[in-house]
Amino acid sequence: MNSTLRKISETIIQRLIDAQEGNLLAPFECPWDGDPMPINCTTDIHYQGMNIFVLWGAAMDKGYTTNKWCTPKQLTKYARDNKLKLDWKGEKCTTGIRWLPYEHKTRKSEEPSKTLIPRPFWVLNMDQVKGFPKDPPPTDHGRIDNLPAQKFIDAVGAEIKHGESRAYFSPSKDIIMLPEPNSFPELGDYHATAFHELGHWTGHAQRLDRNQKGKMGDPDYAFEEIIAEMTSAFFAAKFNLKGRLQHTEYVGSYIKCLQQDLNLVRKASTSAGNAYDYLTSLTKGATTK
């Protein structure tokens, strides 16, 4: 495994361990208000996959309040193009990981084999840059189409029933079962739990078709739980929910699963991002009334 990728994966796992011990926020918690997805402030492209948790973690440690990031090279060009005096002298960059296409041949007669290889990149948060224009504080916490969480959940169209003592998704019946909302300490906990189960719902064979055949205690089961927890974290941040890490009883199995294969950090992050995008796509054009 690439050394940078290994270090990032180990850092995310260590954050889970610290959160389990009560010493740190979980890595699946956004530390700033507004759009939870970190964005490059010169290209308006959101960072993806495990880079989301890398940048969340850096913001937790340093107290950054914005989701805007940029490489020093891009900042230099931005300052020149906009006639700004920007200063980030002495500031330390955060290391992310990107995947670049690579072709190689093993024999002359064979077609080139295409693969992706990890490469590090370095970014600064705009809180580190003096002179960069500040945005006004968000008033809607970056909510999708300004829909509150419940209206978003309704707009997805998943079959959800209430009355069970626990929350779960049944792949065979394609139904989400939830306890009654008033049985949760906070309404945010109810919505965050609903988003966790919607994360599972996206993995059904008729949708994103993930392996959901694992049983409790199996690595496959733990991996699917990690994906759902990450998905819930994205929406908890998106809607400024108080409910955070919802299935704390599984944290030990998360850690064990990820430690056994560091590549799973990247794979789970990518799958959660796909789940987030899929659910968001289902609500396009939904009414706010």
pLDDT at 288: 39
pLDDT at 142 over 70: no
pLDDT at 155 over 80: yes
Q: Indicate the pLDDT class of residue 105, thresholds 50, 70 and 90.
A: low
What mean pLDDT is reported for the chain? 87
pLDDT at 19: 77
Of 6-20, 52-66, 84-98, 201-215, the one with minimum mean pLDDT is: 6-20
Phi and psi of 119, rounded to 5°? -140, 140
- For 189-229, the three-class secondary structure string (H helix, E strand, C coil) is HHHHHHHHHHHHHHCCCCCCCCCCCCCCCCHHHHHHHHHHH
pLDDT at 28: 77
Question: Which carries the bigger pLDDT value, residue 1 or residue 229?
Answer: 229
